[in-house]
Amino acid sequence: MNKLYLWGIIITVAMIGATYLSVATSKGGLNNDIVNILAVTGAVALVIITVFVVIKYVRQMQVDTASGELADENWDGIGEYKNELPTGWAVMFLLTMIWGMWYFTIGYPLNAYSQIGEYNEDVAVHNAKFEEKYKDITGERLVEMGESVYLAECKVCHGLSADGIDGKAANLNIRIDEQSVKYIIENGSNNKLLGMEMPMPDRNGLFNVNTGALITDAEIDIVSKYVANGMSGEGADVFAGACMSCHGEDGKGMEFVAPSIVTYTPVLVSNVLAHGKKGIIGTMPKFDRLNDKQKEAVGAYITSLSK
Q: Which residues contact 223 (CB under 8 A, 6 or more apart)?
A: 181, 185, 215, 235, 238, 239, 242, 243
Largest CA distance in the chain: 104
For the segment 282-300, the average pLDDT, to the nearest whole number, is 93
Given this model, what pLDDT does residue 190 score? 81
pLDDT tens digits, one per residue of 160-177: 999 999 889 999 999 999
For the segment 270-286, the average pLDDT, to the nearest whole number, is 92
Given this model, what pLDDT does residue 22 score? 80
Residue 1 has pLDDT above 60, yes or no: no
Q: How far apart are CA 149 and CA 154, in angstroms?
A: 8
- C-alpha to C-alpha distances, 62 to 1, 2, 57, 82, nearest whole angstrom: 15, 12, 9, 21
- C-alpha to C-alpha distances, 56 to 63, 179, 194, nearest whole angstrom: 11, 77, 69
Domains of the chain by residue range? 3-64+80-115, 140-305
Secondary structure class of 54 (helix, strand, coil) = helix
**How far apart are the two ends of the chain, measured CA to CA in Å?**
96
Given this model, what pLDDT does residue 225 score? 96
Residue 122 has pLDDT above 60, yes or no: yes
Nearest residue to 296 (alpha-carbon basis) of 174, 191, 144, 177: 144
Q: How confident is the model at residue 302 (pLDDT cuts 50, 70, 90)?
A: very high
Amino acid type, 146? G
Pairwise pLDDT comparison (5 vs 214), residue with the higher score: 214
Q: How far apart are CA 91 and CA 102, in angstroms?
A: 16
Given this model, what pLDDT does residue 28 score? 63
Tell me the sheet residues that pair with 208: 213
Q: What is the DSSP secondary structure assignment for residue 75, as one 8-state letter?
A: E
Amino acid type, 145? M
Q: How confident is the model at residue 266 (pLDDT cuts 50, 70, 90)?
A: very high
Given this model, what pLDDT does residue 170 score? 93
Rounded to two decimals, the pTM is: 0.62
Pairwise pLDDT comparison (214 vs 112), residue with the higher score: 214
Q: How far apart are CA 76 and CA 82, in angstroms?
A: 18
pLDDT tens digits, one per residue of 143-157: 999 999 999 999 999
* Percent residues over pLDDT 70 in the chain: 98
User: Secondary structure of 199-263 in the HEC alphabet?
Assistant: CECCHHHCEECCCCEECCHHHHHHHHHHHHCCCCCCCHHHHHHHCHHHHCCCCCCECCCECCCCC
